[in-house]
Amino acid sequence: MPLRFTLRQLEYFVAVGEAGSIAKAAEQVNVSPPSISASIAQLEAEFGVQLFVRKHSHGLSLTAGGRVFLKEAARLLANADALHDIAGDIAEKVRGPLAIGCLLTFAQIVLPSLRRKFETTYPDVRVRQFERNQGQLLEMLQRGEIDVALTYDLELSRDFAFEPLMLVPAYVMLPQDHKFAGKAAITPEELVDEPMVLLDLPFSREYFLSAFHQRGIRPNIAERTGDIAVMRTMVANGFGYGIANMRPLNTLAPDGKPMAFLPLAGDLRPLTLGIALPHAEHRTQTVQAFIEHCRRFVVEQGVFGTERLA
């Protein structure tokens, strides 16, 4: 007797299994909670298994069988997405799912506009976006959780291909009234005794500190934060200077206070912003279309304070 279930029902089940509640899953897949509840009930009736146990806090917990079922359902959905890719390649159409990772330090500047233009051009593509630090992005690429990552050429192994888009040299941000704010550029030696607000993220942290270490000096790290918006606001409020690569589109901190931006003089190599992706003999039409879209985006719009390579 043939099984009577749909991929949509499996999608709802996986969403609930990962979210831990029907309400959260409903928000993620943009479907009403009763529809999701009905789909899960139909799956349980069709397969004759209990997939969830209801908890007193109104959440749901997977049963032992439900955990096994979740793993296989996710694999089946991934295979179905692969069929979309194959069909798109055969028909030479750009369609299907695309999971995009973006380095969280510049996601707010680049990703929304770039994604909107891409989805307008290719309405049959279903985009999911993830903002993560460099280490997390590389792990997600290795696990196949994202298709591409907009990031810097930091610690990329031979497992990854990298499509360069633009050079992003380091700059120093200061409060507008800082004694160095009027300089044309500033060296690590001039900054060494000043308090530093370090952008404390994996790989980025080591890159910024190398500007000092390669000259045999140590910066005066006064504060650390993993949020670049917080770093800018702390700098604008006089907690110290900051170093970053992607400049915002204006000279104001998130709280509205003015800042000054100076090139960092010295031997620190500019980073290259680009698209990292796993090495593969064949790229889908959708991935290739996204790469070409990014190149056009850089040429047409550019990003403040960068030198394009595309």
The SS3 call for residue 131 is strand
Per-residue pLDDT, averaged over 179-190, amounts to 95
- Which span out of 8-22, 37-51, 54-68, 177-191 was modeled with the highest average pLDDT? 177-191
Q: What is the pLDDT of residue 17?
A: 87
Per-residue pLDDT, averaged over 238-266, amounts to 92
Q: What is the pLDDT of residue 301?
A: 65
C-alpha distance from residue 301 to each of 131, 165, 198 (Å):
21, 13, 29
Confidence of residue 84 (pLDDT cuts 50, 70, 90): low
pTM for the full predicted model: 0.67
Q: What is the pLDDT of residue 37?
A: 87
Q: What is the pLDDT of residue 303?
A: 59
Is the model's pLDDT at 284 over the cut of 70? yes
CATH number, domain 171-263: 3.40.190.10
Measured in degrees and rounded to the nearest 5, phi and psi for residue 89 equal -65, -45
Confidence of residue 91 (pLDDT cuts 50, 70, 90): very low
Measured in degrees and rounded to the nearest 5, phi and psi for residue 122 equal -125, 80
pLDDT tens, 125-161?
Answer: 999 999 999 999 999 998 888 999 999 998 888 889 9
Question: Bigger pLDDT: 200 or 19?
Answer: 200
CATH number, domain 95-166+272-308: 3.40.190.10
Q: Which amino acid type is present at position 104?
A: L
Per-residue pLDDT, averaged over 99-105, amounts to 94
Q: What is the pLDDT of residue 87?
A: 58
Is the model's pLDDT at 90 over the cut of 70? no
CATH of 7-88, one of 1.10.10.10, 3.40.50.2300, 1.20.1260.10, 1.10.1740.10: 1.10.10.10
Per-residue pLDDT, averaged over 288-293, amounts to 94
* Domain 171-263 in the same topology as domain 7-88: no
Question: Bigger pLDDT: 59 or 171?
Answer: 171
DSSP 8-state assignment for residue 204: H
Q: What is the pLDDT of residue 3?
A: 58
The SS3 call for residue 132 is strand
Confidence of residue 29 (pLDDT cuts 50, 70, 90): confident
Domain ranges, ordered by start, for the chain:
7-88, 95-166+272-308, 171-263
Alpha carbon 107 to its chain centroid, in Å, reads: 7
C-alpha distance from residue 155 to each of 137, 140, 164, 182, 286 (Å):
11, 15, 15, 34, 26
Q: Which of 68, 124, 116 is nearest to 98 (CA)?
A: 124
Is the model's pLDDT at 32 over the cut of 70? yes
